[in-house]
Amino acid sequence: MEEQFTIRQAEFMTSAGVEGAYPSPLPCEIAIVGKSNVGKSSLINCLANNRKLAKTSASPGKTRLVNFFLLNKALYLVDLPGYGFAKASKTEQKSWGALLDRYLSSGRVRHLFMLIDIRHAPTQDDLTMFRYLIYYNIPYTLVATKADKIAKSKCRQEANRRAKELGAPPFAIPFSSETGEGKAELMNRIGQIFRDCAPIEKESEKE
């Protein structure tokens, strides 16, 4: 039986804009994407047990850069700019699109957590983002956030419904940064992804 994955150390590394340099790659890099205010920063802070690690805001559109966090000095967790912020100018929306496109096409990301709101059907922007993932052939896990806002007995059913509405296989992990629901399941997923990246590292060392 595999040992439970735990985050012993987490630190902010750097931010990168459209033309900014990314940090030196590691074998494992997991990105987090979702619409503005879906709870990306709160999820990162919950996983790392550090409420101040990623900056959260009540105002949508706070994250405007690609933010890299180093976990256990071994893998990156990457917070991508939120999309679908209606009040953003056309220039800002174009810039965010360029940021996402540059990162997703970089070949760095090994897995992506796509966050969707468990309470609502996916937006047009969610559907577009999902098509991006399919286009770039990026392995993904769907995470249905704000699970504390609905009855616990309905969480799994509603999470899976949102995944199906997105056009994905009907499975998503219900998650709440408020109650910690889904945290253990996500940590297990990160551990599995991290272990799966290990053979990639060994192969690259042989070359």
DSSP string computed for 80-125: PPPB--TTS-HHHHHHHHHHHHHHHTSS--SEEEEEEETTSPPPHH
- Domains of the chain plus CATH, in order, are 10-206 (3.40.50.300)
Q: Is the pLDDT at 1 greater than 60, yes or no?
A: no
Q: Where are the alpha helices (DSSP H) in the chain?
A: 40-48, 90-104, 124-136, 155-166, 183-206
Residue 89: CB partners within 8 Å, gap ≥ 6? none
**pLDDT given at position 30:** 98
Q: Is the pLDDT at 22 greater than 90, yes or no?
A: yes
The percentage of the chain sitting over the pLDDT mark of 90, rounded to a whole number, equals 70
Supply the DSSP symbol for 170. Answer: S
Is 117 within 8 Å of 147 (Cβ atoms)?
A: no
Angle between the 90-104 and 124-136 helix axes, to the nearest 10 degrees? 30
Of residues 89 and 151, more confidence is placed in 151
Q: Is the pLDDT at 47 greater than 70, yes or no?
A: yes
**pLDDT confidence bin for 36, thresholds 50/70/90:** confident
Distances from the Cα of 44 to the Cα of 12, 20, 25, 91, 200, angstroms: 11, 22, 20, 28, 25
Residue 87: CB partners within 8 Å, gap ≥ 6? 60, 61
**pLDDT confidence bin for 54, thresholds 50/70/90:** confident
Q: Is the pLDDT at 85 greater than 90, yes or no?
A: no
pLDDT, tens digit, for every residue of 159-202? 999 999 999 999 999 999 999 999 999 999 999 999 999 765 55
**pLDDT given at position 63:** 53
pLDDT, tens digit, for every residue of 107-154? 999 999 999 999 999 999 999 999 989 999 999 999 999 999 999 999
- Cβ burial, residue 84 (10 Å; 0-12/13-18/19+): buried
Distance of alpha carbon 145 from alpha carbon 78, whole angstroms: 17
What's the whole-number average pLDDT of the chain? 88
Q: Is the pLDDT at 16 greater than 70, yes or no?
A: yes
Distance of alpha carbon 129 from alpha carbon 195, whole angstroms: 27
pLDDT, tens digit, for every residue of 180-192? 999 999 999 999 9
Distance of alpha carbon 71 from alpha carbon 52, whole angstroms: 15
Q: What is the pTM of this model?
A: 0.89
Segment holding 26, helix H or strand E: none
